[in-house]
Amino acid sequence: MTLLAPLFLQLALLGIGVTIALHFIVTRQPPSSVLPTTRFVPRDTVQVTTVSRPNDLLLLLLRVLIMLLIGLAFARPVLVADRTPVARIVLADASFAVKDIAEVRDSVRKLLRPQDVFIAFDTAAHTLPISALDTLTATHAPGHLSAALVRALREAAELRARADSIEIVLVSPLRASAVDGATLAIRELWPGPVRIVDVSARTDSAITRGVQIRGAADDDGIRLAFNYTGADAGTRLVRGQLSADDTAWAARGGTLVHWPVATAPQGFAPRSTTDTVGGVLAGDAALVYPLERLWTAKDSAHVAARWIDGEPAALERTVGSGCIREVAVSVPDRGDVVLRPSFARFAQALTAPCTALMTGPPASEETRAAIGGDGPLAHRDIILPPDDIATPLVPWLLATALLLALLELRMRRSHAIARAHELKTQQESAA
């Protein structure tokens, strides 16, 4: 057992010493005796100090225990297990980018030992028991390495008490999409190397070849935005109501764009007062035109397009292996906006394959090198301890101290009652 704040225990021991001393050394006025002829005693002031045997040893014992327990609780004791030479933190990529999750499971299984830590991640990272490895499944969410690294740093801070050196192993196809602007900065916080174990990545098979348009009138201007509108296109754009077939098609991995003409898309509600907005933005495509805004978003989902004032103009929901994109932008039936190239770019951005379906290219060599790093394994001494170390003993110590304090209070009251009773008996016998 080690103490995180031993000063408190030292203070408690000091307090115990003072308490014991106070129990033994009694400075008080002696009990007064009645003497009718007190007037003949010379006037004087005397303070009597006596060193007496304490007659309340049980009370003293309780007080000592209470102070000791409180001091120990504030000193935050931590039980430390035996250290292993090397502990491993395995980061398993369970995102959409993984082609075969079984390959990940096999790789992780080879690496994991009982004392190691297992973290699975996609957009979020979770520490799992090793037994959960067998049930690990791939998700439809993209992988975020930053989240995994942050989790690994926290686990390393906890693990430093149980290991001399710590190694981080990343089991992932490591696509470029998994690396964001913060990833390398987070990586620099880890003083050792990160071993990268490659697994196969899913290939982006759902490459759009065009848009199939359903429910649009023949003179719907939106048709002009797309060159190819064959039935085998990778993206389906529905201008009317969605059917069960549309949803099933999306769940099979398609990109379904629901862009109704007059009704509110799912996740949107009619605005109390319609207004006109000067433009809308989808990815890098911007359409600058006075567009009428009829609906407002009521659900929270991935925003695929925004009005220029920041309000969502299109939402994207993941359905099965695909997604449904609800577009709340009314297409003007007058004017030449649909003939403009900017409208075509905007429409193509809205009909691009779903974000979750894009694994993107592999990370560059520079990125891999930066993430992998080099040098010896990180020693426990150079790993920062955690800000908040779990101290499970503390509540028990405090609870026991509270219990003893209640007992001490009860005992003191019992003593006081007994003393009062004794005094009353003396007075009655005197009367």
Partner 1 sequence: MPLSQYAAALDAVRGIGWPALRRVRTTPVGPHASIVRGSTAEFLEYRAYRQGDDPAKIDWKLVARTDRVYVRVSQERTILPTMLVADASASMAFPQTTHAKWKIASQLAIGLAAIARHRGDPVGLAVAHADGSTIIEPRTRSTVLEEMMRALDVTPGGTNSVADVMADALHLGARVVLLTDFLDDDDTGLLAHAKAAVAAGREVYAIHIVDGLELDPDAKQLLVSDPELPDVRRPMPPNARTVYKRRFAEWRDKLARDWRRAGTVYELVVPQAEPFRRTIRRITSAGEKGGASR
H helices present in 208-340, as ranges: 244-251
Which is closer to partner 1, CB of 47 or CB of 203? 47
Which is closer to partner 1, CB of 137 or CB of 429? 429
- What the block records as the tokens of 36 is 């009718």
Q: Which of 321, 304, 326, 327 is nearest to 356 (CA)?
A: 321
Report helix, strand or coil for 353: coil
Report helix, strand or coil for 367: helix
Q: Which of 270, 91, 83 is nearest to 196 (CA)?
A: 91
> How far apart are alpha carbons 167 and 118 in whole angstroms?
12
Q: Which of 95, 202, 198, 201 is nearest to 146 (CA)?
A: 95
> How far apart are alpha carbons 193 and 377 in whole angstroms?
6
> How far apart are alpha carbons 160 and 191 in whole angstroms?
13
Look at the block and give the residue holding tokens 């992780």. Answer: 108
Q: Which of 319, 360, 301 is nearest to 143 (CA)?
A: 360
Which is closer to partner 1, CB of 131 or CB of 429? 429
Q: Which of 353, 361, 360 is nearest to 234 (CA)?
A: 353
Maximum alpha-carbon separation in the chain: 127
Q: Closest distance between partner 1 and the C-beta of residue 388, in Å?
A: 57
Specify the DSSP element, H or E, that contains 291. Answer: strand 285-297
> How far apart are alpha carbons 24 and 53 in whole angstroms?
6
Q: What beta strand segments (E) does 94-139 contain?
A: 117-121, 125-128
Which is closer to partner 1, CB of 21 or CB of 35? 35
Which is closer to partner 1, CB of 42 or CB of 129? 42
Torsion-angle region of residue 375: left (phi > 0), alpha (psi -120 to 50) or beta? left
Q: Side by side, which strands form the sheet with 268-282?
A: 211-214, 235-238, 255-258, 322-327, 312-319, 302-307, 268-282, 285-297
Q: Closest distance between partner 1 and the C-beta of residue 32, in Å?
A: 5
- Going from the C-alpha of 318 to that of each of 76, 225, 254, 300, 314, the distances in angstroms are 46, 25, 10, 13, 14
Residues that bind partner 1 (CB under 8 A): 29-46, 48, 429-431
Which is closer to partner 1, CB of 40 or CB of 375? 40
Which is closer to partner 1, CB of 46 or CB of 81? 46
